[in-house]
Chains A and B, each alone.
Chain A
């Protein structure tokens, strides 16, 4: 039988605030000792009370706006209870009843719209490491601010699930609310997959695959679930509503616990945090701080940058911000340098955090435009801009240092051409050209280039040669 899959995705995004959601300790535990970023509040000593990080609230407004969502003027916090050593308080502070971010939508590059049901603000849990006879717990991640974005079940293919996850990641990165490092769990996806016979009005029983941390695994897990569930239904069996885990190595999902034995979280309003009231004015002021989003860039650069290149560059907000500062006439060149030179570099990740200034880039583009730099030299100068020795120097200075500025002075070029034409080794080629052998012009240009130590502008050289040999 043919089935229509229906997919909804929940996504946890860690916010890149300076401090934690409910305390003043450092939120960025990257490269730090376990349990070194923990306050008495995070550690849940007796009598400790949460304070609310205003920066997290601001980032929520940006995240919401990035997804075209309403921001709720009043939101509240609730306690979600469970016992596990990664949860010092014995509950997670979350927003169960009244979340801060309301309904909205995300538009995929294909034009498909995925509606957002809501997104809520909550604290992350700690991390457990298991050994043979004991486990260790690291509380550094406790109460790192998270938003959980809950989509409507508007996705109907593994491909769209992939694109949604990726677009969400891009939106959050462009909004500047997360470091967006998937490998380190800055964004994690839970996918809810069900299938129903084609044309049916009713949705099938869903299974939830939890904790996916790449777009590819989102896609593969959905594919796997569609196949698994189709097989079950084809065989006349039923899909069980359950939580499943994903094994990236085998490419399979496996059952973990069914909803019947699911925990009762005993939600309760958080009495230590008063309701969060946001004035319209505050929401509007903060909303205006939303940087350019992929949709804005597509609109602005759609006609200038080739679509496939633009889609690549959209993965890198810092590149897009930089491009946005560049004069329109140089956009094509700079975007090509970004896409085909910078991103091809081994150290590109490092370079992305330390880009040349827009002035450096514009000067470089201008030199290229004026034919002072060949395309090879342009790339070379561009790369040198990331060299610690050269950093901060302007394009011209680097080009000079490298000795790659092209000779465009026609008088000087003519002199070089004359020298070359007098050389015995070029005589045969000259004769051949005169006899109509077009391709030897390349050899002659090459000789001139050699004589000029590569600084001559090849097209100008060719022009002079043609004139002289005619």
Chain B
């Protein structure tokens, strides 16, 4: 990570980043660019450097913040109309930790509204374009962050991953994207999508940068009771020998280029003396179904607070309370938000809870067990992130099921709480980037990042 010092100033780093951010405005990466705020902070950091202060491990490093992290700088919109005008009085723990090390947020990045989506097309502000092909989607939901890093505007960006929202856009744009172990980084101050699967993570260009960010951002937070103890910095690097590939994903539903990329990387590993083993994980075929029950249930619950009463958008001319709720939520949410709210309410309704939610919870337990079993047979798994490379804008946006199928290889990690690192894995003949994901047991994040260097 290029940090500021007495010769290369923070102002210089920030100016470069801001210049590029404006240059690439047609990609629709940012919901807010904080020129003034970022420069002011850069000057402050330069002054501290000049005074001989140790500013931190990210001194003057510009970064992009997914627009579902709360900070008082700019509005936090989650790319949703219903949060219009919402300026947060609090700062997310993850943001606090990054800024304490001297990082400078230059802007907030676009996402599918409330992170519901796999293409950033569900944003109230319109889609973000793919860094390698402007006619294709950036992936999602953290599309803006992925493209900001892929286009070298910033060296890193934050993301959230509830079912693939970091890994899939990372692979659609040819960069690293980590979904850590559930509970590794505090969720405090990040707009909730599904509390039991939401993970905070990053996009970077290198494994070392990823490791640095994890060292900084991970750890127990008294404001998030689901955070784990500070294991990351104490982790010992595990020497992997056996790498597993999931037999159940090796079929025609996966694009040939992606199957080939996987095979190439396996060959590379074999040439380095690693053993490749095939593992069967039959329960994974139920992961998508379980995911699209559990996650909408939590979504419906977490979105209940957006009612137009206390903050954000409120529909005008509502004659009574019921109309106020109905109009505000109807006008404020995107169609995909509403779809998930309706699914969630359905599966939680009295009489359906046992048949849907409870059953999905049981499937989730099976998936957890299946990962535990798999990691007895191998050290890490190497799998595709998504069945296809970046698709065309508009290609799937009107076909929710096709869109949900894009998540079939990513969601099981979120249900199991295990970490997954998306790594670059070449390009298609058309120049679209390909990605694969390395999956490890819970708390193996650091080893996973280290091991990814073997695949470069």
| A contact residues vs B (CB 8 Å cutoff) | 40, 43-52, 79, 81, 83, 85, 88-91, 137, 264-268, 271-274
Contacts and interface: CB of A to CB of B under 8 A. Distances in A.
Interface string B279-306: 0000000000000000001101101111
A271 B295 CA distance: 11
B237 interface: no
Given A40-B89, A43-B310, A47-B192, A89 B304 contact: yes
Interface stretch (B118-126, B344-352, B446-454): B344-352
Given A46-B76, A268-B357, A91 B304 contact: yes
Taking residues whose C-beta sits less than 8 angstroms from the other chain, chain B's interface range is 35 or more
Contact of A47 (B191, B196, B297, B349): B191
A40 B357 CA distance: 30
Interface of B: 68-70, 76, 78, 83, 86, 88-90, 92, 187-192, 194-196, 222-226, 297-298, 300-301, 303-307, 309-311, 321, 325, 345, 348-350, 353, 357
Nearest to B194: A271
A89 B306 CA distance: 8
A40 B91 CA distance: 11
B348 to A, nearest CB: 4
Contacts of B225: 49-52, 272-274
Given A40-B89, A81-B301, A266-B349, A47 B195 contact: no
Contact of A267 (B305, B309, B348): B348
B344 to A, nearest CB: 8
A47 B350 contact: no
B350 A45 contact: no
Given A51-B225, A91-B301, A264 B349 contact: yes
B304 A83 contact: yes
Contacts of A137: 309
If over half of A's interface residues share one DSSP class (helix, strand or loop), that class is named, otherwise mixed; here it is: loop
B188 A88 contact: no
B223 to A, nearest CB: 6
Contact of A88 (B224, B297, B310, B349): B310
Contact of B88 (A45, A49, A79): A45
Contacts of B224: 49, 272
Nearest to A265: B350
Of residues A81, A264, A266, A274, which shows the largest number of chain B Cβ atoms within 10 Å of its Cβ?
Answer: A266
A265 B350 CA distance: 8
A48 to B, nearest CB: 8
Contacts of A83: 304, 307, 325
B325 A46 contact: no
Contacts of A79: 301
B78 A46 contact: yes
Contacts of A50: 225
B148 to A, nearest CB: 21
Nearest to B357: A268
A89 B349 CA distance: 18
Contact of A266 (B78, B195, B306, B348): B348
15 contacts: A40-B89, A44-B305, A45-B88, A46-B68, A46-B70, A46-B305, A47-B189, A48-B189, A49-B223, A49-B226, A81-B300, A90-B301, A90-B305, A265-B350, A272-B224
Contacts of B306: 46
Nearest to A266: B348
A273 B196 CA distance: 10
A46 B187 CA distance: 11
A90 B307 contact: yes
B304 A271 contact: no
A136 B189 CA distance: 27
A274 B70 contact: no
Nearest to A23: B223
A47 B301 contact: no
A268 B301 contact: yes
